[in-house]
Chain A
Amino acid sequence: MPLLDVKNLSVNFNTLEGTVRAVQGVSFSLKKREIIGIVGESGCGKSVTVRSILRLIPMPPGEISEGRIMFNGENLLALDQKRLRGIRGSNISMIFQEPMTSLNPVFTIGNQISETFKVHQKMNKQRARKATINILEKVSIPSPEKRFEEYPHQLSGGMRQRVMIAIALACQPKLLIADEPTTALDMTVQAQILDLMLQLSDQFDTSILLITHDLGIVAQTASKVIVMYAGKIIETGSVSSIFKHPFHPYTIGLIKSLPRMGLRSQYGKKPLHEIPGIVPSMNENISGCWFAPRCDQSMDICRKVAPLQKYIDSDHSVSCWLFN
């Protein structure tokens, strides 16, 4: 049984400009100790998808119109608030993109971490403090006793993200959802944070759902990739099969349009591959494949009927008429 099984998830936002169909029929599953990367361009629904797992999207205007999210045999979408809160932060936790804003500026680091222990493990103040200092050590924050009393603005971006990791991993969750955890950080700090995340999740047997727009990070850390475009999964597969044999024209274009280190020194300067056009706006009503307007191989049917997910082999699926 997979640890997490998302079936046919659809999320809409009812806005003044109309219904934004942010996520449309997304299905995937994640096994124990697996690391899955979700990639895709800005606005394609990555954050909404993973936030729906813990029902952390604002409702209203958001609305999970369809789907089932099974975690450890329970449908998270059907749970009452109390049971859900018991899972948040203890079995499934999250890290966000902006370390600057995801910690509350008016409470100390220690206060914010020990809260998790108090809520889920019913610890008293002293024990929570001890556990907090312990986890601060684990995320390699120097002089944790001193940092315990400090406020977020006294820490650097990298340090704050370490604190977020400490909060997330405090209860040794089974699943960690990391929504672009390193996008706002410098390259060398990004390496530190990724390294720390992988090391601790390995230690705690935590699976990771890692969102990023950096294909390199996925290639280096994940075992499976989900490629999203305009609210849909268009291709999934193991990292090696997706990066070596991508099928969907969008995935191919994405990989080709990236400048790669070493290429210029070896082969000289060539213009980058371009995917023409722009991402469609999500409140449009497009019949057929949403990528068709930008696709250089689109056929008549692409603009009329949406393609279905098709398994090329056991762990590689693609939604494209070229392969149906």
Chain B
Amino acid sequence: MYTFIVRRLLLAVFVLFCLSIIVFFAVHMIPGDMVQVMLGPAATKEAIAALRKSFGLNQPLYVQYFLWILNLLQGNLGESLRMGAPVLDAIISRFPVTLELILLAMGLALLIAFPIGIICAVKHNSWFDHLLRPVSVIGLSVPDFWWAVILIIVISTYFPQFYIVEYMGFFDNFAVNLKAILPAAIALGITMSAVIIRFVRSSLIEVLQTDYITTARAKGLSETVTIGKHALRNTSTDVLTIIGLQMGALISGAVLVEVVFGLPGVGRLALDAVRQRDYPMVQGTVLFMASFFIFINLLVDILYGILDPRIRIS
């Protein structure tokens, strides 16, 4: 188990390194130059060159990358070219919003998916199961930002008392915070729950056909214990993997949903930075969210090991 975690950690470091290269060079391939955007079309060549120099943009790319990495290793993501403030500070101040959104969305998705998935599996091929298949296809094929738009329309038209214009922090005003984030989380969670329902269902159907479930029934255990203890424990390891993988979809979904709902999260920060060609900020946010994704998956791996003794004790 210990070596398992260490191996995962080493792998994570390697992946992050590769990612830093990709992110850096990809960002610099975005057409258009920040300086040009800032100074407008009328700027003189000299003015542009001077500003470029002051930002260090005149050096060769690999030097820029090297400097960036060097700073990164010291926990310094550089300064935003636009805001003049440290990138890391900006991200950290925005991250709680995104984290809350993602966790809430995932929690909602699980809350919806598990009961429905279990019913579908236990009574598979019943009318409920058959009904749910097209419904989940709809859930899967409709993008989350569409749900977001629909939710906004519905709320602002029918429940104006719930419509929040001004976002407030979790600790500042909990009620307002929840009112602002919950619709976004629902929009994100719907798609996610459709994925997880299908997964819980198929995994549980498979587990219910295994010999050890027959053994559990032959022991005289009730269906509640057979499913609740023996089957779900095995299903949950499967579902865990999908949660880790779906984190990617959730993060990218969060970017769009944050924009639609006007939530001040990391996603919006990143999008604004792209628009303004704020290189350090784009690099910083992307790398940060990627690390977050990798961290979650590391957590999933460890949890997997804890849930599955075949990995823990080998």
Interface residues of A (CB under 8 A from B): 54, 56, 58, 60, 81, 85-90, 93-94, 96, 98, 101-108, 115-116, 119-120, 151, 153-154, 164, 167
For the complex, is B217 an interface residue (Cβ under 8 Å from A)? yes
Q: Is the Cβ of A105 less than 8 Å from the Cβ of B221?
A: no
Residues on B with C-beta less than 8 A from A90 are: 220
A87, B309: Cα distance in complex, Å: 31
| Chain B proximity of A323: nearest CB distance (Å) | 38
Residue of A nearest to B213 (CB): A104
Residue of B nearest to A98 (CB): B211
B213-239 vs A, CB cutoff 8 Å, 1 = contact: the mask equals 011111111110000001001100100
Residue of B nearest to A119 (CB): B220
- Give the contacting residue for B214; candidates A60, A85, A102, A167; CB below 8 A: A102
For the complex, is B307 an interface residue (Cβ under 8 Å from A)? yes
Interface residues of B (CB under 8 A from A): 125, 209-212, 214-223, 230, 233-234, 237, 307-310, 313
Residue of A nearest to B214 (CB): A56
| Chain A proximity of B211: nearest CB distance (Å) | 4
Minimum-distance CB pairs A-B, first 5: A89-B220, A88-B220, A89-B219, A102-B211, A104-B212
A60, B214: Cα distance in complex, Å: 15
- Give the contacting residue for A164; candidates B215, B217, B230, B310; CB below 8 A: B215
> Which of A56, A107, A164 counts the most B-chain CB atoms under 10 A from its CB?
A107
Residues on A with C-beta less than 8 A from B234 are: 104-106
Residues on A with C-beta less than 8 A from B218 are: 54, 56, 88-89, 93-94
Residue of B nearest to A151 (CB): B309
- Give the contacting residue for A115; candidates B209, B210, B221; CB below 8 A: B221
Residues on A with C-beta less than 8 A from B217 are: 54, 56, 88
> Which of A94, A106, A119 counts the most B-chain CB atoms under 10 A from its CB?
A106
Q: Is the Cβ of B222 less than 8 Å from the Cβ of A105?
A: no
A14, B279: Cα distance in complex, Å: 64
A73, B219: Cα distance in complex, Å: 21
Residues on B with C-beta less than 8 A from A94 are: 215, 218
A20, B217: Cα distance in complex, Å: 24
New A-B contacts (7) at CB < 8 Å, excluding given A93-B219, A106-B233, A106-B234: A86-B220, A94-B218, A101-B210, A104-B215, A151-B309, A151-B313, A167-B219
| Chain B proximity of A11: nearest CB distance (Å) | 16
Q: Is the Cβ of A104 less than 8 Å from the Cβ of B230?
A: yes
Given contacts A105-B234, A154-B313, contact A96 B307 (CB under 8 A): no
Residue of B nearest to A103 (CB): B212
A81, B217: Cα distance in complex, Å: 11
Residues on B with C-beta less than 8 A from A89 are: 218-221
Q: Is the Cβ of B219 less than 8 Å from the Cβ of A58?
A: no
14 sample A-B contacts, Cβ–Cβ < 8 Å, listed by A number? A56-B214, A56-B217, A85-B220, A88-B217, A94-B215, A101-B210, A102-B212, A104-B230, A104-B234, A116-B219, A151-B313, A153-B313, A154-B313, A167-B215
A91, B310: Cα distance in complex, Å: 33
A167, B210: Cα distance in complex, Å: 17
Given contacts A105-B309, A107-B233, A151-B310, contact A87 B220 (CB under 8 A): yes
Q: Is the Cβ of B233 less than 8 Å from the Cβ of A115?
A: no
Residue of A nearest to B314 (CB): A153
| Chain A proximity of B205: nearest CB distance (Å) | 11
| Chain B proximity of A279: nearest CB distance (Å) | 24
A87, B217: Cα distance in complex, Å: 11
Residues on B with C-beta less than 8 A from A120 are: 220
Residue of A nearest to B236 (CB): A106
A103, B213: Cα distance in complex, Å: 8
A108, B310: Cα distance in complex, Å: 11
A119, B237: Cα distance in complex, Å: 26
| Chain A proximity of B273: nearest CB distance (Å) | 45
- Give the contacting residue for B125; candidates A60, A104, A116; CB below 8 A: A60
Given contacts A54-B218, A119-B220, A167-B219, contact A101 B212 (CB under 8 A): yes
Residues on B with C-beta less than 8 A from A167 are: 215, 219
> Which of B125, B216, B222, B237 counts the most A-chain CB atoms under 10 A from its CB?
B216
Q: Is the Cβ of A104 less than 8 Å from the Cβ of B222?
A: no
| Chain B proximity of A129: nearest CB distance (Å) | 17
| Chain A proximity of B238: nearest CB distance (Å) | 12
Residues on B with C-beta less than 8 A from A119 are: 219-221
A106, B230: Cα distance in complex, Å: 8
A86, B233: Cα distance in complex, Å: 24
Residues on A with C-beta less than 8 A from B215 are: 94, 96, 102-104, 164, 167
Q: Is the Cβ of B221 less than 8 Å from the Cβ of A106?
A: no
A96, B230: Cα distance in complex, Å: 17
Given contacts A105-B309, A154-B313, contact A115 B214 (CB under 8 A): no
| Chain A proximity of B80: nearest CB distance (Å) | 48
Residue of A nearest to B310 (CB): A153
Residues on B with C-beta less than 8 A from A98 are: 211
Residues on B with C-beta less than 8 A from A108 are: 309
Q: Is the Cβ of A106 less than 8 Å from the Cβ of B211?
A: no
> Which of B214, B218, B230, B313 counts the most A-chain CB atoms under 10 A from its CB?
B218
> Which of A54, A105, A151 counts the most B-chain CB atoms under 10 A from its CB?
A105
| Chain B proximity of A89: nearest CB distance (Å) | 4
| Chain B proximity of A50: nearest CB distance (Å) | 11
Q: Is the Cβ of A88 less than 8 Å from the Cβ of B214?
A: no
Residues on A with C-beta less than 8 A from B221 are: 85, 89, 115, 119
A73, B28: Cα distance in complex, Å: 83
Residues on B with C-beta less than 8 A from A103 are: 212, 215
| Chain A proximity of B222: nearest CB distance (Å) | 6
A115, B212: Cα distance in complex, Å: 14
